[in-house]
Amino acid sequence: MGSDLETRSFLDELRSFDKAGFLDLGNPLLNHVAESFVKAAGIGAIKAVAKESFHLAFHGSKPATAKNNKKLPFPHLKGETNKRSLEAMVKRTGKESLEWGLAAGLYSGITYGLQEARGTHDWKNSAVAGALTGMTMALTCERGSHEHLLRSAVTGAAISTAANLITGML
């Protein structure tokens, strides 16, 4: 008899992660946080590599000017494939992965904790988790004003609540 693995598609493999999980740390909260971190960090890495590759391909051949340097995340990338450009891409990929992973892990942990404490998973858990995650991520930014903190909290709460409500409708 042939193995089931030969007939499964890549999407089936990804869907099986949601059912069984791929990390077992001995605690459901740690499992949720770690799995969310790993999944989101991978997405962040893909985003960063795609963004930097696009930048190298389409904007790299133009000479960098003082005006252009302020708009680009790594102004010293000039379409060259050298050690410096590779280091910049790796640095950006690591930073993006860490940011995305931390946000997802934090959100997942708060949501799971609230679900266990309240005994239900609803839009209120998502709103609180989104607000706390938004505020925490705002604290990592260089702009530390209270307006930015509040705006990030409201945005996080709105996005996570909308995602929860839309998921409930599907």
Count of alpha carbons within 13 Å of 17, Cβ hemisphere only?
13
Q: Which amino acid is at 65?
A: T
* 116-163 residue pLDDT tens: 999 988 899 999 999 999 998 888 877 778 888 899 999 999 999 998
* 55-81 residue pLDDT tens: 777 765 444 444 545 555 555 555 555
CA–CA dist 111, 109 (Å, integer)? 5
Q: What string of DSSP letters covers the chain?
A: ---GGGT--HHHHHHHHHHH-S---SSHHHHHHHHHHHHHHHHHHHHHHHHHHHIIIIITTSPP-HHHHHHSSSTT--S--SHHHHHHHHHHHHHHHHHHHHHHHHHHHHHHHHHHHHS---HHHHHHHHHHHHHHHHHTSS---HHHHHHHHHHHHHHHHHHHHHHHH-
pLDDT at 74: 56
* 76-98 residue pLDDT tens: 555 555 667 777 788 888 888 98
pLDDT at 15: 67
pLDDT at 41 over 70: yes
